[in-house]
Amino acid sequence: MTTGDEAAVAGLERRLGYAFARRDLLVTALTHGSVGTASHETYQRLEFLGDRVLGLVVTEMLIEAFPRAPEGELSRRLAELVRKETCADVAGLLDLGSAIRFGHSKAQRAALLTTNVLSDVCEAVVAAIYQDGGLAAARDFIAAHWGPRLVASQAPAQNAKAALQEWSQARGLGVPEYVIKAKSGPDHDPHFELEVRVGSLPPARGEGRTRREAEQEAAAALLASEGQRKASA
């Protein structure tokens, strides 16, 4: 690492509020696949881990902050807080984009600096902190940068369907399929029960007074169950 690189990493550590014992972890979290040499690891494996750590810690924060909230509400809030746009926004506030290592020219760099890349790098940084300092350090970092968003959210997010579709398509799983399993009650007060299926994943169920409400509940339940399953894997 050159003197200039060391100065840049030190500046980023100040913005993160965390000093690394192993700075190589942070460098890896900031290395894009376009660097493309065998001697450089990229952020992809760390992003995979960071996604799970973030989901676990945010879930803990939600349970503590909203002790009376039902599972469906918690699931919708979780989906909103860990979606790629939220992670990319955190990355922007920390100016992670200026620290990412690309293997292309400055002109090409601008085209590569997408919401997806910023989100992935943000999650990779979470994983780097986790591997360097343990779960307590990761919790402190996540609380500092996601906590204000959690407190500011006065109503549960209502876009779990959109979040699930983004999540499933980003992983090559296709478009979620919603299947009505039962409909009961009179016409003026119906009750829907349905199931959402994504690829070969275990389906999730949702209920509601409208089909849309049941779909939102099912989408949020699948996102939450996947996040919990992978965090504990």
Look at the block and give the residue holding tokens 């980023």: 12
> What are the structure tokens assigned to 167, written together?
């999540």
Q: What is the pLDDT of residue 146?
A: 93
d(CA 62, CA 111): 35
| Average pLDDT for 20-27 | 92
User: Which residue in 66, 84, 74, 71 sits closest to 205, CA to CA?
Assistant: 71
User: Is the pLDDT score of 33 beyond 60?
Assistant: yes
**pLDDT grade, residue 232 (50/70/90)?**
very low
Q: Where does the pLDDT of residue 106 fall: very low under 50, low under 70, confident under 90, or very high at 90 and above?
A: low
Q: Which residues are known catalytic residues?
A: 51, 123
List the chain domain ranges. 3-152, 160-232
Quick one: pLDDT band at residue 140, thresholds 50, 70, 90? very high
At 34 the pLDDT is 74
pLDDT at 66 (0 to 100): 83
Where does 3-152 sit in CATH, by number? Answer: 1.10.1520.10
CATH number, domain 160-232, options 3.40.50.620, 1.10.1060.10, 3.30.365.10, 3.30.160.20: 3.30.160.20
Q: With a cut of 90, say whether residue 101 has pLDDT above it.
A: no
Distance CA(90)–CA(219), nearest Å, equals: 24
Top pLDDT among 142 and 232 is at 142
* 90, two tokens: 């955190």
Confidence of residue 2 (pLDDT cuts 50, 70, 90): very low
CB 232 within 8 A of CB 59: no
| pLDDT tens, position by position, 78-97 | 888 998 899 999 999 999 98
In sequence order, the β-bridge partners of residue 72 are: none
Distance, CA of 215 to CA of 218 (rounded, Å): 5
Is pLDDT at 155 greater than 80 in this prediction? Answer: no
Give me the numbers of helices (H) and strands (E) for the chain, helices first please.
Answer: 9, 3
- Mean pLDDT is highest, among 20-24, 70-74, 152-156, for 20-24
pLDDT of 157 strictly over 60: no
Q: What is the structure's pLDDT at 163?
A: 82
